[in-house]
Structure 1
Amino acid sequence: MRRRLLALLCVSASLLTACGVVPGSGEPDRRTVTVWLMKDSASQEFLDRFTEDFEQGHPDLRLDIRIQEWTGIGGKVRAALKAGDADGTGDGADAGSGPDVIEVGNTQVPQYVDDRGLLDLTLESVAKWGGDEWLPGLAEPGQQRFHQYGIPWYAANRVVIYRKDLFERAGITAPPRTRAAWLAATERLNADGRQGIYLAGQDWYTLAGFVWDEGGDLATESGGRWKGALDTPAALRGMDFYRRLQALGAGPVAADEEHPPQAGVFAGGKVAQIVAVPGLAKAVVQQNPALEGQLGFFPVPGKSADAPGAVFTGGSDLVVPRTTDDKKGAVAVVAALTGAKWATELARTMNYVPNKAKLAKAVAGGEGVAAMAAGAAHGRATPSTPEWAAVEADNPIKDYMTKVLTGGDPATEARRATRRITQALTVSF
């Protein structure tokens, strides 16, 4: 698809309750806006600067930023969204007992919308924040029935990490820009006991990009009902390209990229390319310091040289609980964090992709992040339905990929996987 944040509460016990004023100071009362951000999403230095700037520009507000762990966050967010309506009446009597702004994974937003726990921010996003310019992989999962609940903050996605020295040795002078050129280059690299590429058989996020490039999808929606779509001609073409690329290496056909972790395989020195987020390069070099300075990055190639290939976009959106007792303050925080100034600063600080393609120049100086930003402009997310979590829980896409890669008939296996996806998506009907 990773994160840290500072909490500024009342700075002394001598302050009045509710982060009010020091007696006799004449300073205006400040309302506290509680913000939940995920561990390692932002550096301490970034948080310090943002908090200081925000509070100077909003003398009536004070930030209480609390860091959350990703493990178990789904249940914690759900509990927080209900905290303002403990009696279930919907009258708002319990509002204010939970956070006012929450960072959530972009693909998690549909689940929280389905719980009716989020504030509709359509008016703000369309009229004030340039919502039509957001990266689609962040914006689309934050939207339900043309209403925007999740506001894009930052993105990350896969690129091709490659060995510059092996490319040079094979006479490849520039990274490939088309799928056809990528296959040809990988075949040239697949020599002298090396793998031209290490691609696990069940790396379904990478497969999804090839399917989208062909005009297909993992699932489609019609009349409010979702169904699987792996059996379409377009999706089958995406799987066929995956099969051809995967065959140019020795990746395990019955495992995903974490079994074994592909960083360790790449560090072994016998692999020319992997598909991963740029940050994985650091883990590779840590395991094999001899590769320092030898790793390069390029966007996943597309069908033509006109644009990079589609990729799965991970990242975070910011949401506002429906039961917040300070909508104005919460909206001000979201506007500041996702606006051009601080979205750009966050991208520079943390090597993320900014939430709008036009801001990508802010990270143009970093080879890995620049490659990531180029791909993000054509990124997508998983189907925007809360039931998609049920698909991933017992993922039929992985089984489908393994069966095709071990000689199964693609059309037959695609129909089976499609039926299983449809069943998972319609469990609530």
Structure 2
Amino acid sequence: MKNRPGPRCTALLAATALAATTLTGCGYLPGTGDSATTVTVWLMKDSASDGFVQRFTRQFESEHKNIRLDVRIQEWGGIGAKVTGALRSGDGPDLIEVGNTQVAMYAQSGGLRDLTLESVRDLGSKDWLPGLADPGSINGAQYGIPWYAANRVVIYNKDLFRDAGITEPPRTRAQWITDTEKLNGGGRQGIYLAGQDWYTLSGFIWDEGGELAEEAGGNYTGALDSPAAIRGMDFYKELQGLGRGPKNSDEAHPQQADVFAGGDVAQIVAVPGTAQTILKSNPQLKGRLGFFPIPGRTAARPSAVFTGGSDLIIPDKARHGDAAVTVVEALAGRKWQTELARTMSYVPNKTTLAGVVKGEEGTAAMAAGAARGRATPNSPRWAAVEADNPIKPYMTDVLTGEDAATAARKASKLLTDELVDR
């Protein structure tokens, strides 16, 4: 899932193929000769800076003199059709970055290389973030190797917290509600939470032990009507009701960063990178923004969160698949995970690497939540769900007064209809 909020959130599968910008062999060294294997790599736009790509290419080629890299930057729009076509034809790249929740769709085509052996032997898969690793695993085979993650945290206005007498961020849901109530009044809005922010709702549902959809025998059925999922929706309704966010639109309509930049909103739920958008709109907020993990039911651990980010896949028909595995091992290994996390303010792919972002308040808060990260149901048809997402109107129905159980049953049926393997 391309949850590059603004994530990199899953804007999936437009049908047009787009031309790629190419960063070719940035660090190619004289003397490697024509016998060197050229590995073609597709990376997505804005996933890694040009500087990172050039540094990686330069060092990788210096350490692997028989491999050259041809890195081609792709647009997210239309990438689904482009990747699917490449997997079918065998004329595509050797290594592809894909959104974590897209792996199941590509695996269904049968065109992906099984990387289970490499993931266990060389990459230390036991420590991978579950929100990246689980979507990359289909029927016990690891097709997607986790690359980077991003997830939501609470961005807050430190001045408004201090004015309300709140000296430290809440660590439990109950305290979060109490603090948000305190933040209301005096011209302040305790929280801005749009009515259809279904990614945030998903975390509350998982935190209660519920699911968006459940799998049995390879088939998925909607599960929004389970008692646990309804409890998650009940909490969302309570929290959303403490602000003035719209009940019938998502966090992009209007852009919640612009609302927060007005200066009278105390909190939003967003990825830490949203802070840069806020400061661009209102530079006077510089030094006044803080971050904390979304609180959980108890202080022992933060809430579950939706994990966006990317996995790395290798086509089964790749001309240079073995060399591509070597590239994956480098990109997913400690050195370049550390470099990518610090360069791009991402969460690295392993829980054991969380310490590399220590000192970066927003990224550290994100990493704390990522340890409990989840992804959307691992169905190859989930992209169809997001194209006409029944979770959003379900949320609006509940927030505007419809009985939660009735609305959940209706939404669950719509989810099941979308997830049926046709």
TM-score, normalised by the number of residues in structure 1: 0.92
Letter of the 1:71 counterpart: G
**Structure 1 match to 2:71:** 65
Letter of the 1:311 counterpart: V
Q: SS of 2:23's equivalent?
A: coil
Q: SS of 2:126's equivalent?
A: helix
- Residue 7 (1) aligns with residue 38 (2): no
| Counterpart Cα distance in 2 of 1:30 and 1:341 | 24
Q: Can you give the 5+ residue segments of structure 2 that lack an aligned partner in the other structure? A: 9-19
**Structure 2 match to 1:221:** 215
| Counterpart Cα distance in 2 of 1:58 and 1:255 | 50
| Counterpart Cα distance in 1 of 2:165 and 2:314 | 53
Offset of 1:8 from its aligned partner?
2.5
Q: Paired residue for 2:247, among 253, 262, 267?
A: 253
- Residue 197 (1) aligns with residue 213 (2): no
Deviations 1:79-135 (A, max 9, x none): 111221xxxxxxxxxxxx320000001011111001111111011111221112100
**Structure 1 match to 2:337:** 343
Q: Paired residue for 2:273, among 276, 279, 295?
A: 279
Deviations 1:206-245 (A, max 9, x none): 0000000000000010111110000111001100000000
Letter of the 1:117 counterpart: G
Deviations 1:381-429 (A, max 9, x none): 000011111211111111111111111100111111111101111151x
Letter of the 1:232 counterpart: S
**Structure 2 match to 1:388:** 382
- Residue 38 (1) aligns with residue 44 (2): yes
The percent of aligned pairs where both chains have the same amino acid is 64
Q: Can you give the 5+ residue segments of structure 1 that lack an aligned partner in the other structure? A: 12-18, 85-96
| Counterpart Cα distance in 1 of 2:122 and 2:352 | 17
Q: SS of 1:362's equivalent?
A: helix
- Residue 231 (1) aligns with residue 228 (2): no
Q: SS of 1:354's equivalent?
A: coil
Letter of the 2:370 counterpart: A
TM-score, normalised by the number of residues in structure 2: 0.93
* Aligned Cα root-mean-square deviation (Å): 1.8
| Counterpart Cα distance in 2 of 1:126 and 1:253 | 45
Q: Would you say the 8 A contact 2:26–2:58 is kept in 1?
A: no
**Structure 1 match to 2:129:** 135
Q: Would you say the 8 A contact 1:138–1:317 is kept in 2?
A: yes
Q: Paired residue for 2:322, among 323, 328, 339?
A: 328
**Structure 2 match to 1:165:** 159
| Counterpart Cα distance in 2 of 1:82 and 1:427 | 20
| Counterpart Cα distance in 2 of 1:413 and 1:63 | 52
Q: Would you say the 8 A contact 2:32–2:65 is kept in 1?
A: no
Q: SS of 2:148's equivalent?
A: strand
Count of paired positions: 406
| Counterpart Cα distance in 1 of 2:357 and 2:25 | 33
**Structure 2 match to 1:404:** 398
Offset of 1:72 from its aligned partner?
1.1
- Residue 83 (1) aligns with residue 99 (2): no
Offset of 1:268 from its aligned partner?
1.2
**Structure 2 match to 1:55:** 61
Deviations 1:117-174 (A, max 9, x none): 1111011111221112100000111110011000000000000000000000111000
Letter of the 1:333 counterpart: V
Q: Would you say the 8 A contact 1:301–1:308 is kept in 2?
A: yes
Call closer, same or farther: CA 1:31–1:10 in 2, change over 3 Å: farther
**Structure 1 match to 2:296:** 302
Letter of the 1:69 counterpart: E
Call closer, same or farther: CA 1:172–1:375 in 2, change over 3 Å: same
Deviations 1:351-385 (A, max 9, x none): 00000011011111110000001000100000001
**Structure 2 match to 1:107:** 101
Offset of 1:7 from its aligned partner?
2.3
Offset of 1:290 from its aligned partner?
1.4
| Counterpart Cα distance in 1 of 2:71 and 2:405 | 51
| Counterpart Cα distance in 2 of 1:104 and 1:57 | 26
Q: SS of 2:364's equivalent?
A: helix
| Counterpart Cα distance in 2 of 1:26 and 1:399 | 58
Call closer, same or farther: CA 1:172–1:118 in 2, change over 3 Å: same
| Counterpart Cα distance in 2 of 1:418 and 1:64 | 45
- Residue 116 (1) aligns with residue 122 (2): no
- Residue 315 (1) aligns with residue 321 (2): no
Q: Paired residue for 1:209, among 203, 209, 217?
A: 203
